[in-house]
Protein backbone atom coordinates (compact mmCIF):
# COMPACT_ATOMS: atom_id res chain seq x y z
CA UNK A 1 0.00 0.00 0.00
CA UNK A 2 1.38 3.40 -0.98
CA UNK A 3 0.66 7.00 -0.15
CA UNK A 4 1.12 9.78 -2.70
CA UNK A 5 2.20 13.22 -1.55
CA UNK A 6 0.16 16.18 -2.90
CA UNK A 7 1.83 17.85 -5.82
CA UNK A 8 4.20 14.98 -6.56
CA UNK A 9 3.91 12.21 -9.05
CA UNK A 10 5.89 9.68 -7.05
CA UNK A 11 4.50 7.18 -4.59
CA UNK A 12 6.05 6.78 -1.15
CA UNK A 13 5.81 3.51 0.79
CA UNK A 14 3.28 3.31 3.60
CA UNK A 15 4.46 1.91 6.93
CA UNK A 16 2.43 0.33 9.69
CA UNK A 17 2.78 1.50 13.27
CA UNK A 18 4.70 -1.70 14.04
CA UNK A 19 7.15 -0.95 11.21
CA UNK A 20 7.72 2.57 12.50
CA UNK A 21 8.19 1.33 16.04
CA UNK A 22 10.77 -1.25 14.95
CA UNK A 23 12.58 1.37 12.90
CA UNK A 24 12.65 3.79 15.83
CA UNK A 25 13.95 1.08 18.14
CA UNK A 26 16.73 0.25 15.67
CA UNK A 27 17.74 3.91 15.34
CA UNK A 28 17.82 4.46 19.11
CA UNK A 29 19.92 1.36 19.76
CA UNK A 30 22.29 2.24 16.92
CA UNK A 31 22.73 5.73 18.32
CA UNK A 32 23.42 4.54 21.88
CA UNK A 33 25.37 1.35 21.16
CA UNK A 34 26.52 1.55 17.55
CA UNK A 35 27.74 1.05 14.99
CA UNK A 36 25.39 3.62 13.50
CA UNK A 37 27.47 3.82 10.32
CA UNK A 38 27.80 0.09 9.69
CA UNK A 39 30.41 -2.52 10.57
CA UNK A 40 33.22 -0.51 8.92
CA UNK A 41 32.06 2.93 9.95
CA UNK A 42 34.23 6.03 10.31
CA UNK A 43 33.76 8.07 13.49
CA UNK A 44 34.79 11.68 12.97
CA UNK A 45 35.12 12.55 16.64
CA UNK A 46 37.99 12.83 19.08
CA UNK A 47 36.81 9.78 21.01
CA UNK A 48 34.61 6.81 20.19
CA UNK A 49 33.59 6.79 23.85
CA UNK A 50 32.28 10.29 23.29
CA UNK A 51 30.14 8.98 20.43
CA UNK A 52 28.51 5.96 22.12
CA UNK A 53 27.15 5.61 25.63
CA UNK A 54 26.84 1.85 26.25
CA UNK A 55 28.59 -1.38 25.29
CA UNK A 56 32.25 -0.64 26.12
CA UNK A 57 34.83 -2.81 27.89
CA UNK A 58 37.76 -0.91 29.35
CA UNK A 59 41.38 -2.08 29.11
CA UNK A 60 43.46 -2.75 32.20
CA UNK A 61 44.57 0.36 34.04
CA UNK A 62 42.15 2.57 32.16
CA UNK A 63 41.83 6.14 33.41
CA UNK A 64 38.31 6.38 32.04
CA UNK A 65 39.02 9.80 30.50
CA UNK A 66 39.72 9.94 26.76
CA UNK A 67 42.80 11.85 25.76
CA UNK A 68 41.97 15.29 24.42
CA UNK A 69 44.93 15.33 22.00
CA UNK A 70 47.27 12.64 20.78
CA UNK A 71 50.20 12.38 18.40
CA UNK A 72 47.91 12.07 15.42
CA UNK A 73 45.85 15.16 16.27
CA UNK A 74 48.11 17.98 17.50
CA UNK A 75 46.53 20.70 19.58
CA UNK A 76 46.88 22.82 22.67
CA UNK A 77 46.66 22.23 26.40
CA UNK A 78 43.74 20.48 28.06
CA UNK A 79 42.67 23.27 30.38
CA UNK A 80 42.32 27.01 30.21
CA UNK A 81 45.29 27.74 32.49
CA UNK A 82 47.69 25.78 30.30
CA UNK A 83 47.96 22.73 32.55
CA UNK A 84 46.65 19.25 31.97
CA UNK A 85 43.64 17.98 33.85
CA UNK A 86 44.29 15.95 36.98
CA UNK A 87 43.83 12.18 36.60
CA UNK A 88 40.51 10.83 37.82
CA UNK A 89 40.36 9.17 41.23
CA UNK A 90 41.08 5.46 41.43
CA UNK A 91 37.48 4.79 42.44
CA UNK A 92 36.26 6.16 39.10
CA UNK A 93 38.61 3.89 37.17
CA UNK A 94 37.51 0.90 39.26
CA UNK A 95 33.91 1.38 38.11
CA UNK A 96 34.79 0.84 34.45
CA UNK A 97 33.79 -2.71 33.41
CA UNK A 98 36.33 -4.79 31.53
CA UNK A 99 34.25 -8.00 31.27
CA UNK A 100 30.79 -9.23 30.42
CA UNK A 101 29.54 -12.75 30.86
CA UNK A 102 26.68 -15.17 31.33
CA UNK A 103 25.83 -18.35 33.23
CA UNK A 104 23.52 -20.99 31.77
CA UNK A 105 22.41 -24.59 32.20
CA UNK A 106 23.10 -27.30 29.62
CA UNK A 107 21.50 -30.74 29.38
CA UNK A 108 23.62 -33.59 30.71
CA UNK A 109 23.58 -35.41 27.36
CA UNK A 110 25.31 -32.51 25.59
CA UNK A 111 28.98 -33.02 24.76
CA UNK A 112 30.34 -29.70 23.50
CA UNK A 113 29.64 -25.99 23.03
CA UNK A 114 30.56 -23.47 20.36
CA UNK A 115 31.17 -19.86 21.40
CA UNK A 116 31.05 -16.88 19.05
CA UNK A 117 32.72 -13.66 20.20
CA UNK A 118 31.91 -10.39 18.46
CA UNK A 119 33.01 -6.82 19.02
CA UNK A 120 34.14 -3.69 17.24
CA UNK A 121 37.76 -2.49 17.22
CA UNK A 122 38.44 1.18 16.42
CA UNK A 123 41.78 2.65 15.36
CA UNK A 124 42.99 6.02 14.09
CA UNK A 125 43.42 6.26 10.32
CA UNK A 126 43.92 9.01 7.76
CA UNK A 127 41.18 9.11 5.13
CA UNK A 128 41.88 11.49 2.29
CA UNK A 129 38.34 12.60 1.63
CA UNK A 130 37.12 16.15 1.27
CA UNK A 131 34.82 15.90 4.28
CA UNK A 132 37.85 15.26 6.51
CA UNK A 133 40.05 18.07 5.16
CA UNK A 134 41.38 20.62 7.65
CA UNK A 135 41.71 24.33 7.04
CA UNK A 136 45.48 23.97 6.60
CA UNK A 137 44.95 21.59 3.66
CA UNK A 138 45.77 18.39 5.54
CA UNK A 139 43.38 15.68 6.65
CA UNK A 140 42.28 15.07 10.21
CA UNK A 141 42.42 11.50 11.54
CA UNK A 142 39.22 9.56 12.13
CA UNK A 143 38.36 6.34 13.92
CA UNK A 144 37.98 3.34 11.59
CA UNK A 145 35.94 0.39 12.87
CA UNK A 146 36.92 -3.23 12.26
CA UNK A 147 34.46 -6.03 13.00
CA UNK A 148 35.71 -9.04 14.97
CA UNK A 149 33.43 -12.07 14.59
CA UNK A 150 35.01 -15.44 15.41
CA UNK A 151 33.50 -18.80 16.39
CA UNK A 152 35.48 -21.21 18.52
CA UNK A 153 36.07 -24.89 17.76
CA UNK A 154 33.78 -27.18 19.79
CA UNK A 155 34.60 -26.84 23.49
CA UNK A 156 34.05 -30.17 25.31
CA UNK A 157 31.93 -30.15 28.44
CA UNK A 158 34.40 -31.12 31.17
CA UNK A 159 34.37 -30.23 34.84
CA UNK A 160 36.73 -27.39 35.71
CA UNK A 161 38.09 -24.22 34.16
CA UNK A 162 37.95 -23.60 30.43
CA UNK A 163 41.26 -22.92 28.72
CA UNK A 164 41.41 -19.21 27.75
CA UNK A 165 40.62 -18.60 24.10
CA UNK A 166 41.71 -15.52 22.12
CA UNK A 167 39.33 -14.98 19.19
CA UNK A 168 41.49 -12.32 17.48
CA UNK A 169 45.21 -13.12 16.99
CA UNK A 170 45.94 -9.41 16.54
CA UNK A 171 44.53 -8.70 20.01
CA UNK A 172 45.42 -11.81 22.04
CA UNK A 173 44.66 -10.11 25.36
CA UNK A 174 40.93 -10.06 24.56
CA UNK A 175 39.96 -13.52 25.74
CA UNK A 176 37.04 -15.78 26.50
CA UNK A 177 37.36 -17.48 29.88
CA UNK A 178 35.02 -19.62 31.91
CA UNK A 179 34.28 -22.60 34.11
CA UNK A 180 32.07 -25.70 33.89
CA UNK A 181 30.42 -27.47 36.82
CA UNK A 182 28.35 -30.65 36.89
CA UNK A 183 25.20 -30.21 38.99
CA UNK A 184 22.70 -33.07 39.26
CA UNK A 185 21.47 -33.74 35.71
CA UNK A 186 22.84 -30.52 34.21
CA UNK A 187 26.00 -28.68 33.33
CA UNK A 188 26.26 -25.17 34.76
CA UNK A 189 28.55 -23.10 32.53
CA UNK A 190 29.89 -19.59 33.09
CA UNK A 191 31.65 -17.66 30.30
CA UNK A 192 33.26 -14.22 30.25
CA UNK A 193 34.61 -11.97 27.51
CA UNK A 194 37.60 -10.23 29.12
CA UNK A 195 39.44 -7.18 27.83
CA UNK A 196 42.93 -7.70 29.25
CA UNK A 197 44.73 -5.18 27.02
CA UNK A 198 46.92 -2.46 28.47
CA UNK A 199 45.77 1.09 27.83
CA UNK A 200 48.24 3.03 25.67
CA UNK A 201 49.28 6.62 26.33
CA UNK A 202 47.70 7.83 23.10
CA UNK A 203 44.89 6.49 20.94
CA UNK A 204 43.37 5.01 24.06
CA UNK A 205 40.16 3.95 22.37
CA UNK A 206 42.13 1.45 20.27
CA UNK A 207 42.44 -0.69 23.41
CA UNK A 208 38.75 -0.54 24.24
CA UNK A 209 36.24 -3.18 23.15
CA UNK A 210 33.03 -1.75 21.67
CA UNK A 211 29.68 -3.46 21.00
CA UNK A 212 30.79 -6.76 22.63
CA UNK A 213 28.68 -9.89 22.35
CA UNK A 214 28.95 -13.56 23.29
CA UNK A 215 26.79 -16.19 21.55
CA UNK A 216 26.69 -19.83 22.71
CA UNK A 217 25.15 -22.82 20.96
CA UNK A 218 25.79 -26.52 20.55
CA UNK A 219 28.11 -27.78 17.85
CA UNK A 220 25.18 -29.43 16.02
CA UNK A 221 22.47 -26.83 16.72
CA UNK A 222 20.60 -29.10 19.15
CA UNK A 223 18.34 -27.54 21.85
CA UNK A 224 20.67 -28.25 24.76
CA UNK A 225 19.91 -25.22 26.95
CA UNK A 226 17.54 -25.82 29.85
CA UNK A 227 15.89 -24.07 32.73
CA UNK A 228 18.07 -24.23 35.79
CA UNK A 229 16.76 -26.95 38.09
CA UNK A 230 14.86 -25.45 41.02
CA UNK A 231 13.49 -27.50 43.95
CA UNK A 232 9.77 -26.64 43.80
CA UNK A 233 9.09 -28.49 47.00
CA UNK A 234 11.18 -25.91 48.87
CA UNK A 235 9.14 -22.95 47.60
CA UNK A 236 6.26 -21.48 49.57
CA UNK A 237 2.80 -21.32 48.01
CA UNK A 238 3.18 -17.80 46.60
CA UNK A 239 6.44 -18.76 44.90
CA UNK A 240 4.85 -21.92 43.52
CA UNK A 241 1.98 -19.87 42.10
CA UNK A 242 4.42 -17.50 40.38
CA UNK A 243 6.44 -20.41 39.03
CA UNK A 244 3.27 -21.95 37.59
CA UNK A 245 2.03 -18.71 36.00
CA UNK A 246 5.38 -18.05 34.32
CA UNK A 247 6.33 -21.65 33.55
CA UNK A 248 6.58 -20.77 29.84
CA UNK A 249 8.79 -17.75 30.52
CA UNK A 250 12.00 -19.67 31.14
CA UNK A 251 15.18 -18.08 32.41
CA UNK A 252 17.80 -19.89 30.34
CA UNK A 253 20.73 -17.70 31.37
CA UNK A 254 21.83 -15.04 33.84
CA UNK A 255 23.95 -12.12 32.71
CA UNK A 256 27.00 -10.74 34.51
CA UNK A 257 27.26 -7.02 33.83
CA UNK A 258 24.99 -7.44 30.83
CA UNK A 259 21.53 -8.67 29.83
CA UNK A 260 20.93 -12.02 28.12
CA UNK A 261 18.50 -13.48 25.62
CA UNK A 262 17.70 -16.90 24.17
CA UNK A 263 16.20 -18.52 21.06
CA UNK A 264 13.52 -21.00 22.14
CA UNK A 265 13.46 -24.39 20.40
CA UNK A 266 10.61 -25.45 18.14
CA UNK A 267 9.02 -28.80 17.38
CA UNK A 268 8.47 -30.28 13.92
CA UNK A 269 5.30 -28.21 13.47
CA UNK A 270 6.96 -24.92 14.41
CA UNK A 271 5.44 -24.70 17.88
CA UNK A 272 7.73 -23.36 20.64
CA UNK A 273 9.25 -25.74 23.16
CA UNK A 274 9.32 -23.41 26.12
CA UNK A 275 11.73 -25.38 28.32
CA UNK A 276 14.50 -25.74 25.70
CA UNK A 277 16.62 -23.24 23.79
CA UNK A 278 19.00 -23.63 20.86
CA UNK A 279 21.06 -20.51 21.52
CA UNK A 280 21.83 -18.01 24.30
CA UNK A 281 23.66 -14.70 24.00
CA UNK A 282 24.50 -11.48 25.78
CA UNK A 283 22.55 -8.30 25.00
CA UNK A 284 23.94 -4.88 25.85
CA UNK A 285 20.54 -3.25 25.30
CA UNK A 286 17.87 -5.67 26.54
CA UNK A 287 14.55 -5.80 24.69
CA UNK A 288 11.31 -7.65 25.30
CA UNK A 289 8.19 -7.84 23.17
CA UNK A 290 5.24 -7.15 25.47
CA UNK A 291 2.15 -8.91 24.11
CA UNK A 292 -0.99 -6.88 23.75
CA UNK A 293 -3.59 -7.51 26.44
CA UNK A 294 -7.11 -7.76 25.05
CA UNK A 295 -10.31 -8.96 26.74
CA UNK A 296 -12.02 -12.10 25.41
CA UNK A 297 -14.68 -11.52 22.79
CA UNK A 298 -17.96 -13.40 22.25
CA UNK A 299 -16.52 -14.66 18.96
CA UNK A 300 -13.71 -16.45 20.82
CA UNK A 301 -14.30 -20.18 21.48
CA UNK A 302 -15.70 -20.74 24.96
CA UNK A 303 -16.81 -17.13 25.49
CA UNK A 304 -20.11 -17.12 23.58
CA UNK A 305 -22.01 -16.14 26.76
CA UNK A 306 -20.36 -12.71 26.68
CA UNK A 307 -22.59 -11.77 23.74
CA UNK A 308 -25.41 -10.91 26.18
CA UNK A 309 -23.17 -9.03 28.64
CA UNK A 310 -23.79 -5.29 28.94
CA UNK A 311 -20.65 -3.19 29.18
CA UNK A 312 -21.92 0.20 27.99
CA UNK A 313 -21.69 2.54 30.98
CA UNK A 314 -24.66 4.69 30.02
CA UNK A 315 -26.86 1.61 29.59
CA UNK A 316 -25.80 0.29 33.01
CA UNK A 317 -26.60 3.69 34.49
CA UNK A 318 -30.24 3.25 33.36
CA UNK A 319 -30.91 -0.36 34.46
CA UNK A 320 -34.07 -0.48 36.61
CA UNK A 321 -34.16 -2.17 39.99
CA UNK A 322 -34.25 -5.96 39.91
CA UNK A 323 -32.88 -6.31 36.37
CA UNK A 324 -29.12 -6.23 36.90
CA UNK A 325 -28.70 -10.01 36.63
CA UNK A 326 -29.99 -9.90 33.07
CA UNK A 327 -27.18 -7.51 32.11
CA UNK A 328 -24.32 -8.79 34.33
CA UNK A 329 -24.89 -12.51 34.98
CA UNK A 330 -23.26 -13.53 31.65
CA UNK A 331 -19.95 -12.30 33.06
CA UNK A 332 -20.15 -14.70 36.02
CA UNK A 333 -21.42 -17.55 33.83
CA UNK A 334 -18.55 -17.10 31.37
CA UNK A 335 -16.06 -16.98 34.26
CA UNK A 336 -17.52 -20.21 35.69
CA UNK A 337 -17.14 -21.90 32.30
CA UNK A 338 -13.52 -20.75 32.12
CA UNK A 339 -12.83 -22.20 35.60
CA UNK A 340 -14.36 -25.51 34.53
CA UNK A 341 -12.04 -25.63 31.53
CA UNK A 342 -9.02 -25.11 33.77
CA UNK A 343 -10.23 -27.85 36.10
CA UNK A 344 -10.43 -30.26 33.19
CA UNK A 345 -6.79 -29.43 32.40
CA UNK A 346 -5.94 -30.82 35.84
CA UNK A 347 -7.90 -33.98 35.14
CA UNK A 348 -10.95 -33.13 37.26
CA UNK A 349 -13.86 -35.26 36.12
CA UNK A 350 -16.35 -33.09 38.05
CA UNK A 351 -16.35 -29.29 38.19
CA UNK A 352 -16.31 -27.31 41.42
CA UNK A 353 -13.00 -28.25 43.05
CA UNK A 354 -11.73 -26.27 45.99
CA UNK A 355 -14.95 -24.49 46.98
CA UNK A 356 -17.04 -25.83 49.83
CA UNK A 357 -19.92 -23.51 48.93
CA UNK A 358 -20.07 -24.92 45.40
CA UNK A 359 -20.07 -28.53 46.61
CA UNK A 360 -23.82 -28.31 47.32
CA UNK A 361 -24.65 -27.32 43.74
CA UNK A 362 -25.80 -30.10 41.38
CA UNK A 363 -22.93 -31.92 39.74
CA UNK A 364 -20.15 -30.40 41.86
CA UNK A 365 -18.22 -32.86 44.01
CA UNK A 366 -14.69 -33.20 45.38
CA UNK A 367 -12.96 -36.17 43.70
CA UNK A 368 -10.04 -38.00 45.23
CA UNK A 369 -6.97 -35.84 44.43
CA UNK A 370 -4.90 -38.99 43.90
CA UNK A 371 -6.97 -39.77 40.80
CA UNK A 372 -6.04 -36.49 39.06
CA UNK A 373 -4.21 -36.68 35.75
CA UNK A 374 -3.07 -33.13 34.93
CA UNK A 375 -1.62 -31.97 31.65
CA UNK A 376 2.15 -32.58 31.52
CA UNK A 377 3.17 -28.92 31.85
CA UNK A 378 0.96 -28.55 34.97
CA UNK A 379 2.00 -31.76 36.71
CA UNK A 380 4.91 -30.15 38.68
CA UNK A 381 2.55 -27.42 39.93
CA UNK A 382 -0.44 -29.45 41.08
CA UNK A 383 -0.61 -27.94 44.58
CA UNK A 384 -0.34 -24.39 43.23
CA UNK A 385 -2.93 -25.09 40.52
CA UNK A 386 -5.45 -26.41 43.03
CA UNK A 387 -4.93 -23.36 45.24
CA UNK A 388 -5.34 -21.03 42.26
CA UNK A 389 -8.62 -22.66 41.22
CA UNK A 390 -9.89 -22.47 44.79
CA UNK A 391 -9.21 -18.73 44.72
CA UNK A 392 -11.01 -18.46 41.39
CA UNK A 393 -14.05 -20.24 42.78
CA UNK A 394 -14.06 -17.85 45.76
CA UNK A 395 -13.88 -14.85 43.41
CA UNK A 396 -16.77 -16.29 41.36
CA UNK A 397 -18.88 -16.63 44.49
CA UNK A 398 -18.21 -12.99 45.39
CA UNK A 399 -19.06 -11.78 41.87
CA UNK A 400 -22.40 -13.58 41.95
CA UNK A 401 -23.10 -12.25 45.42
CA UNK A 402 -22.41 -8.72 44.20
CA UNK A 403 -24.82 -9.06 41.27
CA UNK A 404 -27.49 -10.44 43.62
CA UNK A 405 -26.94 -7.51 45.98
CA UNK A 406 -27.64 -5.03 43.16
CA UNK A 407 -31.00 -6.74 42.51
CA UNK A 408 -32.03 -6.84 46.18
CA UNK A 409 -30.60 -3.61 47.65
CA UNK A 410 -31.95 -0.37 46.10
CA UNK A 411 -29.23 1.71 47.74
CA UNK A 412 -26.46 -0.47 46.22
CA UNK A 413 -28.23 -0.28 42.84
CA UNK A 414 -28.40 3.53 43.04
CA UNK A 415 -24.69 3.74 43.86
CA UNK A 416 -23.84 1.43 40.96
CA UNK A 417 -25.93 3.49 38.53
CA UNK A 418 -24.34 6.71 39.81
CA UNK A 419 -20.81 5.34 39.29
CA UNK A 420 -21.58 4.27 35.72
CA UNK A 421 -23.23 7.59 34.91
CA UNK A 422 -20.15 9.45 36.20
CA UNK A 423 -17.82 7.33 34.07
CA UNK A 424 -20.04 7.80 31.00
CA UNK A 425 -19.99 11.57 31.43
CA UNK A 426 -16.23 11.53 31.88
CA UNK A 427 -15.89 9.60 28.64
CA UNK A 428 -18.06 12.15 26.83
CA UNK A 429 -15.93 15.03 28.10
CA UNK A 430 -12.75 13.23 27.06
CA UNK A 431 -14.09 12.82 23.52
CA UNK A 432 -15.11 16.48 23.44
CA UNK A 433 -11.61 17.52 24.51
CA UNK A 434 -10.10 15.34 21.79
CA UNK A 435 -12.43 16.87 19.21
CA UNK A 436 -11.47 20.35 20.38
CA UNK A 437 -7.77 19.61 20.02
CA UNK A 438 -8.35 18.21 16.53
CA UNK A 439 -10.35 21.28 15.51
CA UNK A 440 -7.64 23.62 16.83
CA UNK A 441 -4.97 21.74 14.88
CA UNK A 442 -6.95 21.89 11.63
CA UNK A 443 -7.70 25.60 12.17
CA UNK A 444 -4.03 26.43 12.71
CA UNK A 445 -3.08 24.59 9.53
CA UNK A 446 -5.83 26.30 7.53
CA UNK A 447 -4.75 29.75 8.71
CA UNK A 448 -1.16 29.01 7.78
CA UNK A 449 -2.25 27.92 4.29
CA UNK A 450 -4.33 31.05 3.84
CA UNK A 451 -1.43 33.28 4.84
CA UNK A 452 0.76 31.45 2.33
CA UNK A 453 -1.79 31.82 -0.44
CA UNK A 454 -2.52 28.10 -0.59
CA UNK A 455 -6.24 27.54 -1.13
CA UNK A 456 -6.20 23.97 -2.36
CA UNK A 457 -7.43 21.54 0.29
CA UNK A 458 -4.98 18.68 0.58
CA UNK A 459 -5.98 15.13 1.35
CA UNK A 460 -4.63 15.61 4.88
CA UNK A 461 -7.08 18.46 5.41
CA UNK A 462 -9.92 16.47 3.90
CA UNK A 463 -9.13 13.50 6.12
CA UNK A 464 -8.86 15.70 9.22
CA UNK A 465 -12.12 17.48 8.34
CA UNK A 466 -13.89 14.15 7.86
CA UNK A 467 -12.60 12.95 11.24
CA UNK A 468 -13.77 16.20 12.83
CA UNK A 469 -17.27 15.92 11.34
CA UNK A 470 -17.56 12.26 12.38
CA UNK A 471 -16.40 13.08 15.90
CA UNK A 472 -18.87 15.99 16.16
CA UNK A 473 -21.76 13.78 15.04
CA UNK A 474 -20.77 11.14 17.57
CA UNK A 475 -20.55 13.77 20.30
CA UNK A 476 -23.99 15.15 19.47
CA UNK A 477 -25.53 11.70 19.53
CA UNK A 478 -23.89 10.90 22.84
CA UNK A 479 -24.91 14.24 24.33
CA UNK A 480 -28.51 13.76 23.30
CA UNK A 481 -28.51 10.28 24.80
CA UNK A 482 -26.98 11.48 28.09
CA UNK A 483 -29.17 14.61 28.24
CA UNK A 484 -32.48 13.71 26.59
CA UNK A 485 -34.77 16.56 25.70
Could you read off the pLDDT of 343-379 as tens digits, one per residue?
Answer: 999 887 655 544 434 433 444 444 455 557 888 889 8
For residue 292, pLDDT over 90 is answered with no
The per-residue pLDDT for 350 is 59
Identify which has the larger pLDDT, 64 or 329. 329
173-210 pLDDT tens trace: 999 999 999 987 899 999 999 999 999 989 999 999 99
Name, of 357-361, 410-414, 445-449, the range with top average pLDDT. 410-414
E strands within 174-256?
A: 174-183, 186-195, 209-218, 225-226, 253-256
Residues in the chain, how many? 485
If phi > 0 it is left, if psi is from -120 to 50 it is alpha, else beta; for residue 55 that is: left
For residue 483, pLDDT over 50 is answered with no
For residue 428, pLDDT over 90 is answered with no
Cα–Cα distances in Å, from 387 out to 165, 228, 340, 364, 375? 50, 25, 14, 17, 16
CA nearest neighbour of 334 among 303, 363, 297:
303
- Mean pLDDT for 435-439 is 69
CA nearest neighbour of 315 among 413, 424, 399:
424
The per-residue pLDDT for 481 is 45
- Mean pLDDT for 71-89 is 42
- Mean pLDDT for 240-265 is 93
Rounded distance, CA 241 to CA 233, Å?
12
- Mean pLDDT for 27-56 is 95
Q: What percent of the chain has pLDDT over 70?
A: 75
At 81, is the pLDDT very low, low, confident or very high (cuts 50, 70, 90)? Answer: very low
At 107, is the pLDDT very low, low, confident or very high (cuts 50, 70, 90)? Answer: very high
pLDDT, mean over the chain: 82
For residue 426, pLDDT over 50 is answered with yes
For residue 272, pLDDT over 80 is answered with yes
For residue 477, pLDDT over 50 is answered with no
The per-residue pLDDT for 231 is 59
At 420, is the pLDDT very low, low, confident or very high (cuts 50, 70, 90)? Answer: very high
Rounded distance, CA 315 to CA 71, Å?
79
CA nearest neighbour of 455 among 10, 9, 6:
6
The DSSP element (H or E) to which 333 belongs, if any, is helix 324-345
- Mean pLDDT for 317-335 is 95
The per-residue pLDDT for 14 is 79
The DSSP element (H or E) to which 146 belongs, if any, is strand 141-151
CA nearest neighbour of 458 among 470, 449, 467:
449
What is the 3-class SS of 238-271, one letter each residue? Answer: HHHHHHHHCCCCCCCEEEECCEEEEEEEECCCCC
Identify which has the larger pLDDT, 436 or 284. 284
At 448, is the pLDDT very low, low, confident or very high (cuts 50, 70, 90)? Answer: low
CB 316 within 8 A of CB 327: yes
Q: Where are the alpha helices (DSSP H) in 61-121?
A: 90-94
- Mean pLDDT for 472-479 is 46
Cα–Cα distances in Å, from 405 out to 57, 329, 410, 414, 428? 65, 12, 9, 12, 29
Beta-carbon-side half-sphere exposure of residue 214 (alpha carbons within 13 Å)? 31
- Mean pLDDT for 121-145 is 93
Cα–Cα distances in Å, from 213 out to 102, 117, 277? 11, 6, 18
The per-residue pLDDT for 11 is 60
Rounded distance, CA 408 to CA 39, Å?
72
The per-residue pLDDT for 12 is 64
- Mean pLDDT for 20-48 is 94
At 429, is the pLDDT very low, low, confident or very high (cuts 50, 70, 90)? Answer: confident
Rounded distance, CA 153 to CA 150, Å?
10
CB 333 within 8 A of CB 361: no
Q: Picking from 130-134, 215-219, 449-453, which range would have the lowest pLDDT averaged per residue?
A: 449-453
At 485, is the pLDDT very low, low, confident or very high (cuts 50, 70, 90)? Answer: very low
Cα–Cα distances in Å, from 50 out to 43, 144, 212? 10, 15, 17
Cβ-based burial of 107 (10 A; exposed 0-12, middle 13-18, buried ≥19): middle
The per-residue pLDDT for 64 is 58
Amino acid sequence: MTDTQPGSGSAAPSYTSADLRDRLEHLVIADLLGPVGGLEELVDERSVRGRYLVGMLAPRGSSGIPEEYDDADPGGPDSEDGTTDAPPPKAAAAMLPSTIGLTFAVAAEASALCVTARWGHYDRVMVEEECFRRTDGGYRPVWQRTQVDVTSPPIPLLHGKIAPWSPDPERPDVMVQGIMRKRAAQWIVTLFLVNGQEEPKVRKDSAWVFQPELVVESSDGAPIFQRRALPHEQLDLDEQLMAMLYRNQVEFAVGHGVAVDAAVAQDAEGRPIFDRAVRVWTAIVPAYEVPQTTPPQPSDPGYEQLASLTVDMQTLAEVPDGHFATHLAPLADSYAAWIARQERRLGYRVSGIGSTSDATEPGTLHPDPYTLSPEPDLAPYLTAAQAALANCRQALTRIRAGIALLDHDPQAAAAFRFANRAMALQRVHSLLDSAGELYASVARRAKADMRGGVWQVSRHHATSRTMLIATAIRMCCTWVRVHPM
